[in-house]
Amino acid sequence: LSAHHSSDFSFDKDVPDVVPPMLGLHNYQDGAYAEDLANYHERSHADDWFGTEAMDVLVGWTKNLCSSKDLPGCSVLDIGTGSGRLLQQLAKQGFSDLTGIDYSEAAIELARNLAIRDGFEHINFLVDDVLESKLERRFELVMDEGTLDAIGLHPDGPVKRMMYWQSVASLVSPGGILVITSCSRTKDELVQEVENFNQRKLGTTLSEGALASDVVVFKYLDHVQAYPNVDGVCIATVAFLHT
């Protein structure tokens, strides 16, 4: 993949002091993960940017969100998985069908090494770009912890975000849940972005002669009410039901 692609940036690593658009470039991400990979034996998840308390809130809330599901059998996809930290935490809560994708090969190698080190060999990690995903299955729970944010930093952000929604719609099972965590969008802004996608989907479907009731859309389900303070950053997490 070349440097003009958007980034599957994840909150599970330190945020460096750089011009933000660099986070939307692939070669920058690979370089950022390379150092972590070289020192993964000493790497502690407690040092991650998305603090332990905030992660605990997200994971606990997600488990409650899926309370009606059989957790071991619930298929989970983490988009832009980074070091795979979120999947490890979900595994501790009882989820076992876990897949993480990231288009950074260095990130996936790091995630695999950390999973083996920490006793989570069953987590499946794959190099895959969500904007051009090669995955051929759908998931009951799809998590995004910062990837949509990074896509928005790309010079072609608006176009890439539309590609993102189209791709994610094909990755979430009917009746499944999409959970997006963002530090650049509020809950209301994320809900509005989903509604915009629904309207585009509806317009395309009607122009092709299909019924409005056949349109696959996302519907607001719930959101995290409050997070602990993480260096003054405002974090929003919103869940959408795939209808």
Which pLDDT score, from 0 to 100, does residue 217 have? 86
| Cα Rg of the chain (Å, integer) | 17
Q: Are 183 and 233 in contact (CB under 8 A)?
A: yes
3-state secondary structure of 18: coil
Summarize pLDDT for 212-230 with one digit per residue, the tens. Answer: 556 658 999 999 999 987 6
Q: Are 74 and 99 in contact (CB under 8 A)?
A: no
Which pLDDT score, from 0 to 100, does residue 229 have? 78
Which pLDDT score, from 0 to 100, does residue 68 have? 93
Going by the DSSP 8-state scheme, the letter that residue 101 receives in this structure is E
Side-chain half-sphere of 101: how many Cα atoms within 13 Å?
23
Task: Return the closest-CA partner of residue 140 out of 111, 179, 103.
Answer: 179
Using the structure block, give the residue that is written with the tokens 């009882």: 94
Summarize pLDDT for 60-104 with one digit per residue, the tens. Answer: 999 999 999 999 999 999 999 999 999 999 999 999 999 999 999
Q: Which two tokens stand for residue 66?
A: 């899926």
- The model carries a pTM of 0.82
Domains, in order of start, for the chain: 20-39+49-242 (3.40.50.150)
Residue ranges of the chain whose pLDDT lies below 50 = 1-25, 28, 43, 46-47
